[in-house]
A and B are shown apart, each in its own frame.
Chain A
Amino acid sequence: MSLWEYANPAKFMALSARILPYLAIASSCLLLAGLFWGFFLTPADYKQGSTVKIIFLHVPTALMAINAWLMMLVTSLVWLIRRHHVSALVAKAAAPIGITMTLIAIATGAIWGKPMWGTYWAWDPRLTSFMILLVFYFGYLALWEAIEDKDTAADLTSILCIVGSIFALLSRYAVNFWSQGLHQGASLSLDKEQHVDNVFYLPLLVCIVGIILLFLTLVLIRTRTEIRSRRLMALRMRGI
């Protein structure tokens, strides 16, 4: 019994059908609890006032915006190396969710930025990196849509995702030469001393876990849809 067995569409459908309800319930409970805790039960920051509370949306979505791309990178590699169809479809399913997360992160950042930095948008390295990530997502999805044969599309989008990751990383560091930043350093890290007070830290952690589970739920639902639509196509092909 190996992990790869779940790359078989039928097996994947069976397993995902079983765990989806739990995932959905867990993610909605955690998110509701975390956001409620964060928005209503934490004090206002002495410097930033109540605007700081947007952190409970901004940080988790920003994390997932990047993690969604990382997930696409891993599943693309799995498709190119082991040719498991489900893997390619997971990558395809993750992209629109990644786009949504990126947009939410940019929007909440803009709303937060107005009172803090006095502007909705600045060409700060991190903001710029997210904008760049967004165009990478757009290109990736556009390529999926443009190619008729689905296996060819999976091949090409996978290689694009890999090459794109390299250049996204290069851009991430190139921006540092190009502009000085406004952002604070990492807000969460295990090795450094904490940058965020404990009062915010715990609800933030709950929100992050909630968003991760929400992301997984959505990816599973979308992958299931993709698998069903591939089966429909296969059935239609059989008719010819």
Chain B
Amino acid sequence: MLLNVNNLNCRRGPKLVIANVSMSVSAGECIILRGPNGSGKTTLLRYLAGLCDSADIKTYDNSIAYSGHLDGVKSTLTVRENLNFWAGIYATNSMNKVIEKLNLEYLSNNLAGELSAGQKRRLGLARMLISNAKVWLMDEPTASLDKSTSALIFEAINSHCKNDGAAIISTHIDLDIPKSRVLNMEDFAVKGKDDDDPFLKGSYQ
């Protein structure tokens, strides 16, 4: 097992957005978060990534990589410099392999600011690969991408899962990833439970 969530409640600001999320993720699994805008997909992923403190999430051997709406790409550095930086942060040496795998070789000396949106996303994906993390958390990895680039990203997720990794992804597109599970955010919607705000309890004198 790579990740275990037990009765997690998530807030966005003061507001409770989703309640009672329980799930466990083991190697090879891919979980897809589905739900309309505002249903708490991003919030859940941020909680899982450890950006919001919660005692209800258990991760094992510190192996999580998170990619949000932004890629964390520095436009004044070259592609290789960007990736070299992340390799240093995650203390791994898989950079050259990743550049080869994602076919970034021909771009590696270009400044990241010169890349197109799709190429930037590929660079963001490369960071996930470099991290060597078991669990990938990806928030809308295919937003504003065309079919072929999306396919490339799904393929990377697919092969990551095959290599004993796991992924939790929020997306609107139908994926063809074997062994994927769909988690419907509406199951965790807060119904009449929003009174847990401490300022709403009791009557004031």
Contact = CB atoms under 8 A, between A and B. Distances in A.
Contacts of A10: 201-204
A13 interface: yes
Interface stretch (A93-101, A116-124, A176-184, A231-239): A231-239
A227 B204 contact: yes
Contacts of A227: 199, 204
Nearest to A148: B13
B181 interface: no
A10 B197 CA distance: 12
B14 A9 contact: no
A222 interface: no
Contact of B200 (A11, A14, A228, A231): A231
A36 B198 CA distance: 45
A13 B205 contact: yes
Contact of A13 (B15, B194, B200, B204): B204
A9 B202 contact: yes
Nearest to B11: A151
Contact of A234 (B197, B202, B203, B204): B197
Given A9-B199, A227-B199, A234 B205 contact: no
Contact of B204 (A85, A149, A228): A228
B200 A235 contact: yes
A112 to B, nearest CB: 43
Given A13-B205, A238-B194, A151 B14 contact: yes
Contacts of B13: 149, 151, 237
Interface range on chain A (Cβ under 8 Å from partner): 20 to 34
B20 to A, nearest CB: 19
Given A85-B199, A227-B199, A231-B199, A237 B15 contact: yes
Contacts of A149: 13-14
A85 B198 contact: yes
B96 to A, nearest CB: 41
A127 to B, nearest CB: 41
B14 A231 contact: no
A150 interface: yes
B140 to A, nearest CB: 22
A195 interface: no
Nearest to A240: B15
Contacts of B203: 10
A11 B204 CA distance: 8
Nearest to A12: B204
A238 B202 contact: no
Interface string B82-124: 0000000000000000000000000000000000000000000
A13 B202 CA distance: 10
Nearest to A237: B15
A238 to B, nearest CB: 6
B14 A237 contact: yes
Max chain B Cβ within 10 angstroms of own Cβ: one of A14, A231, A240: A231
Interface in B169-203: 194, 197-203
Interface in A1-52: 8-11, 13-14, 17
A150 B11 CA distance: 13
15 contacts: A9-B204, A11-B202, A13-B202, A14-B205, A85-B199, A150-B14, A151-B14, A227-B199, A230-B199, A231-B200, A231-B204, A233-B199, A237-B15, A238-B194, A238-B200
